Amino acid sequence: MKYYNWKKTIPKKELIEVCEYIKKGEIVIFPTETVYGIGANAFDEKAVQKIFTAKGRPADNPLIVHVADHLEITKITQNITKIEQKLIHEFMPGPFTLILKKNAKIPDIVSGGLDTVAVRMPKHAIAKQIIANSKVPIAAPSANISGKPSGTTIEDIQKELAPKVHAIIDGGETQIGLESTVVKVINETPYILRPGKITPEQIKKVTGKVEFANGIFTPVKENEKVESPGLKHKHYAPKTPAILLYSQDEKRLLMEVNKKIEAYQGKVVVLGFEEHKEKIKVPQNQFISLGSKNNLEQIAKNLYTLLRKADQLEAYKIIIEGVPKQGIGIAIMNRLLRTCGYNYIEF
């Protein structure tokens, strides 16, 4: 495995090397603005299979195909509608994925056997350069062992994935920290399949309407086919069992968190707001600050790293304070519900 430090610059010679690995069917870990991805040539079935093997990913969980420019979208899809064109124009490049009708160039292994493909155009400089210079679209799910929290720093994922990939590009901490918003247009209405940084309000401004698909806040049936990653199988989860608590009433939330701490017969770790640090009844080393309750962007950015940190404390239970389901809070709560296996109480 080769390690490249591109935190400050992208050396041309190293970029050429990495792109050659992609062309030759190897898999590479690289940063995007959302989370780190583990990528391969989307046209190469054997290379894509290496991703599934490295992650231990179920074959029916489709991958997102990353492209360098708008023209490349037209080369792997067909029958793009006017609404879809509006969404592409407004949100690509960026933390946005659109489900489109695929053409024959995209192998079934990439799309989970569906006739659609999830397409994204990253804004991150390193991701853009790798895709553009490889001259192929890159299939890339989040860089993590399947089911575990996604990687937002190389330190989070290097130990578990380094032996399984050909190269790692370290671009430092990712900017957003949550995976892209995934949308599918059905009968001219955009449906959010996975919430992210791009909010329902932003989409509605472009298209006039927006809906949530099934599976955002409730479990998807085991035999149900899904078109977006992160919907069906256990995801974003530490090994330690977790519970998610939320109330609009801050005093009630604190009271219920402390009740749970007293009720559990064992070591409890709390992921809570910085403002609650002195009010939650656990030892200081068992409280992990999510950040300020007033800064959801920062909570989103640090969430996966903090979940991994909580897991390392080997507690009996992790208690997590929830956030309002507004703006990026929708995406945070979506991930936390999956983290807790829908073990969720709202007061």
pLDDT of residue 220: 74
For residue range 33-50, list pLDDT tens digits in order: 999 999 999 999 999 999
What DSSP designation does 195 have?
A: -
The amino acid that residue 44 corresponds to is D
Same fold, 2-212 and 242-346: no
Residue range 127-153, pLDDT digits in tens: 999 999 999 999 999 999 988 999 999
Q: Assess whether pLDDT exceeds 90 at residue 228.
A: no
Where does the pLDDT of residue 338 fall: very low under 50, low under 70, confident under 90, or very high at 90 and above?
very high
Burial class (CB in 10 A: 0-12, 13-18, 19+), 342: exposed
pLDDT of 245 over the 70 cut: yes
Q: What pLDDT score does 268 carry?
A: 98
Give the phi and the psi of residue 226 in degrees, each rounded to 5. -125, 150
CATH homologous superfamily, domain 242-346? Threonylcarbamoyl-AMP synthase, C-terminal domain (3.40.50.11030)
Distance CA 120, CA 92 (A): 7
Sign of CA dihedral 170, 175, 179, 181: negative
Lowest mean pLDDT of 186-200, 226-240, 253-267, 303-317, name the range. Answer: 226-240
Segment 236-252 mean pLDDT: 94
The residue-averaged pLDDT of 181-206 equals 97
Mean pLDDT of 161-188: 97
Answer whether 173's CB lies under 8 Å from 159's CB.
Answer: no
The closest of 54, 65, 62, 6 to 27, measured between CA atoms, is: 54
* Number of C-beta neighbours around residue 306 at 10 A: 18
pLDDT category at 237 given cuts 50, 70, 90 is confident
Least confident of 8-17, 69-78, 152-161, 230-239: 230-239
The more confidently predicted of residues 220 and 204 is 204
pLDDT of residue 230: 60
Compute the mean pLDDT over every residue in the chain, rounded to the nearest whole number.
95
For the stretch 283-332, pLDDT in tens is 999 999 999 999 999 999 999 999 999 999 999 999 999 999 999 999 99
Q: What single string gives the DSSP state of each residue in 77-139?
A: B----HHHHHHHHHH-SSSEEEEEEB-TTS-HHHHTT-SEEEEE----HHHHHHHHHHTS-EE
Identity of the amino acid at 317? K
Q: Are 194 and 182 in contact, with CB atoms under 8 Å apart?
A: yes
Domain ranges of the chain: 2-212, 242-346
Q: Is the pLDDT reported for residue 231 higher than 70?
A: no
Kindly give the pairing relationship between strand 344-346 and strand 287-291.
unpaired
Say which CATH class 2-212 falls into: alpha beta
E strand or H helix at 28, and its extent? Answer: strand 28-31
Q: At what angle do helices 329-339 and 296-312 cross, to 10 degrees?
A: 20
Distance (Å, whole) CA 38 – CA 108: 18
The pTM of this model reads 0.94
Q: Phi/psi class of residue 41: alpha, beta or left (left: φ > 0; alpha: ψ in -120 to 50)?
A: beta
> Can you give the pLDDT at residue 144?
94
Confidence of residue 265 (pLDDT cuts 50, 70, 90): confident
